[in-house]
């Protein structure tokens, strides 16, 4: 049964609510503050208690995330507007007093139903994550055996095989490697979660330099040029995550270029109020308009040019940018090149 917490200054009002709600929930009247730590599915609070307990309630709500813990505030109708704007961060619904029984019961029902849906969704997500780990783990073991056996065969019996036999073995090893890579990418995609993210002020300049340095081998091999245009600002981001995002985008810009063209990549940034837009522009094969939004979905690969890959890079990039409360997109012309952009929050002067 759902548990509803009542935080009311007036005993008479809380008694009335107990009567109204006891049919559809277990109602708990809270006297002290420690009861906020106990499990509950909905908290109904009056304006005065909310003033007193807002910080505690906010913390309690955050501790349940990503599950939705609803808070319903009952406050005199005349103070409804000011209450709503002041307390929007903590409260999910405001209802004016004197309260209509039918209205209250309907709002309570909706909030409790949303809470249950959110709990179910969270449960499904956890099951799905556990399933992903189990499947990928179970796939890895036999794959490791295939790789080891093929290597052993090549080492011990390689001389007795003809050219075609050796080629076939190499093909087995290559496919097993691709499968290892696919499993690793799949795992890092499913592992990306809010818990691991540490948003802080991050200077783009050293992050971009580190990305370019770690791609040095590819840059040299492709005779590529990467130019940073102008100063790069400070943004709110997780530096580790941002680095992996940029490496992903830069690797693609080096990869999806016609073989007879030397890659040229320009990195620049622009500022608008508290947002920063970072752009990575390349002279690659470009992307048709109809493909520009779908390439951010998992396993979408275009046929514009044949290159190795598994189609998870941009999905990971999108998830990472969204985890940093950013946005991203691409503008591109087939045969001319693409510009991937990332918009992130940048610190205001007083931050
Ligand atoms: P992968 O590179 O492993 O295929 P991604 O998710 O990184 O996976 O990219 C998805 C697809 O988007 C690529 O297969 C390619 O067709 C296209 N793409 C990505 N980046 C670029 C780029 N800079 N220029 C042209 N096409 C690109």
Q: Is 283 in the pocket of ligand 1 (CB under 6 A)?
A: no
Query: Which CATH fold would you assign to the domain 200-345?
Result: Heat Shock Protein 90 (3.30.565)
Q: Is 186 in the pocket of ligand 1 (CB under 6 A)?
A: no
Per-residue pLDDT of 163-211, as tens digits, reads 999 999 999 999 999 888 888 888 878 778 756 788 999 999 999 999 9
Q: Is 180 in the pocket of ligand 1 (CB under 6 A)?
A: no
The pLDDT of residue 192: 80
Q: Is 261 in the pocket of ligand 1 (CB under 6 A)?
A: no
d(CA 37, CA 24): 22
The reported pTM is 0.71
Distance 279 CA to ligand 1 centre (A): 16
**pLDDT over 90 for what percent of the chain?**
66
Per-residue pLDDT of 259-283, as tens digits, reads 999 999 999 999 888 899 999 999 9
Helical (H) or strand (E) element with 5: strand 3-7
- Find out whether 340 and 279 touch, Cβ atoms under 8 Å: yes
Distance 28 CA to ligand 1 centre (A): 55
Average pLDDT taken over every residue of the chain: 91
Q: Is 301 in the pocket of ligand 1 (CB under 6 A)?
A: yes
**pLDDT over 70 for what percent of the chain?**
95
Shortest-distance Cα residue to atom 14 of ligand 1: 301
Shortest-distance Cα residue to atom 11 of ligand 1: 301
CA atoms within 13 A on the CB side of 5: 25
- Find out whether 197 and 319 touch, Cβ atoms under 8 Å: no
| Domain range annotation of the chain | 3-121, 124-191, 200-345
Distance 193 CA to ligand 1 centre (A): 23
Whether 9 shows a pLDDT value over 70: the answer reads yes
What the block records as the tokens of 253 is 């810009």
Shortest-distance Cα residue to atom 27 of ligand 1: 256
Query: Which CATH fold would you assign to the domain 3-121?
Result: Rossmann fold (3.40.50)
DSSP state of 310: -
Distance 287 CA to ligand 1 centre (A): 9
d(CA 81, CA 41): 26
Span 8-30, mean pLDDT? 88
- Find out whether 53 and 87 touch, Cβ atoms under 8 Å: no
CA atoms within 13 A on the CB side of 28: 19
How far is residue 154 from each of residues 118, 139, 176, 308, measured CA to CA in Å? 53, 23, 15, 24
The pLDDT of residue 265: 98
Closest CA to 96 of 82, 71, 78, 109: 78
From its phi and psi, is residue 263 left (phi > 0), alpha (psi between -120 and 50) or beta?
beta
């Amino acid at each position: 049964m759902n548990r509803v917490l009542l935080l009311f200054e007036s005993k008479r009002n809380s008694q009335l609510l107990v009567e109204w709600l006891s049919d559809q929930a277990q109602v708990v009247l809270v006297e002290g503050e420690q009861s906020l730590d106990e499990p509950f599915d909905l908290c109904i609070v009056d304006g005065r208690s909310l003033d007193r307990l807002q910080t505690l309630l906010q913390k309690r709500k955050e501790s349940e995330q990503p599950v939705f813990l609803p808070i319903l505030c009952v406050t005199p109708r005349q103070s409804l507007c000011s209450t709503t704007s002041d307390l929007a961060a903590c409260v999910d619904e405001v209802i004016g007093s004197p309260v209509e029984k039918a209205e209250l019961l309907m709002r309570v029902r909706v909030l409790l139903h949303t809470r249950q849906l959110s709990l179910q969704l969270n449960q499904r997500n956890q099951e799905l994550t556990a399933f992903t780990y189990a499947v990928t783990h179970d796939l890895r073991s036999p794959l490791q055996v295939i790789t080891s056996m093929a290597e052993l065969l090549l080492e011990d019996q390689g001389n007795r095989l003809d050219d075609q036999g050796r080629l076939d073995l190499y093909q087995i090893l290559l496919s097993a490697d691709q499968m290892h890579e696919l499993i690793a990418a799949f795992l890092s995609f499913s592992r990306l979660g809010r818990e691991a993210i540490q948003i802080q002020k991050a200077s783009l300049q050293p992050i971009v330099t580190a990305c370019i340095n770690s791609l040095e081998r590819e840059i040299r091999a492709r005779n590529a040029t990467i130019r940073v245009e102008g100063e790069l600002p400070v943004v709110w981001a997780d530096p580790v995550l941002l680095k992996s995002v940029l490496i992903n985008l830069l690797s693609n810009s080096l990869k999806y270029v016609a073989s007879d063209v030397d890659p040229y990549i320009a990195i620049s940034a622009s500022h608008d109020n508290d947002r920063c837009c970072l752009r990575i522009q390349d002279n690659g094969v470009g992307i048709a308009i109809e493909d520009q939004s779908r390439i951010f979905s998992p396993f979408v690969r275009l046929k514009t040019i044949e290159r190795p890959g598994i189609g998870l890079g941009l999905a990971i990039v999108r998830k990472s940018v969204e985890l940093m409360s950013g946005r991203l997109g691409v503008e591109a012309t087939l045969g001319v090149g693409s510009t991937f952009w990332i918009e992130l929050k940048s610190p205001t002067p007083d931050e």
